[in-house]
Every structure is written in C-alpha cells, then in structure tokens.
Amino acid sequence: MVLRKVLALFEDKCPVCDDRLQAVSNAACCTKACPQGHYKEESYCTLGVTIVYDELK
C-alpha cells in the first residue's frame, strides 16, 4: 500500500523498529529508509508530497 501525506507529517524514525532512518537526498527528492528495510519514504520537495512505502513490515 502506498500512502501520500503532506510533508509536515513525515517521520524520522522507523515505525516498526524505532531505528533512525537513513536519509539520502538529491535535487529531485529526499529518501528516508529504515536500515533494516521496514520502511521507506520519498519526499518530493518540488511537488510538496511525501510517498511512504510501509508494506514491508
């Protein structure tokens, strides 16, 4: 399942294991992912949206 939510609601920790997300950013988007693969989110600043991949839990 893919959820879209506003950028203001983003999380900095994995909702599954509460580990700190690893962030990688470039000109197009900023990606944050759990180092253990539970959670991933992509923030597109130019579009003002964040796409969250939480089906991995």
Binding site for Zn ion (CB under 5 A): 14, 16-17, 19, 34, 36, 38
Provide φ and ψ at 20, rounded to 5°.
Answer: -75, 135
Report the distance separating Cα 57 and Cα 54, nearest Å.
6
Report the distance separating Cα 36 and Cα 6, nearest Å.
25
| Minimum distance, C-beta of residue 47 to Zn ion, in the bound complex (Å) | 26
| Minimum distance, C-beta of residue 43 to Zn ion, in the bound complex (Å) | 18
| Minimum distance, C-beta of residue 34 to Zn ion, in the bound complex (Å) | 3
Q: Of 5 and 19, which has the nearer Cβ to Zn ion? A: 19
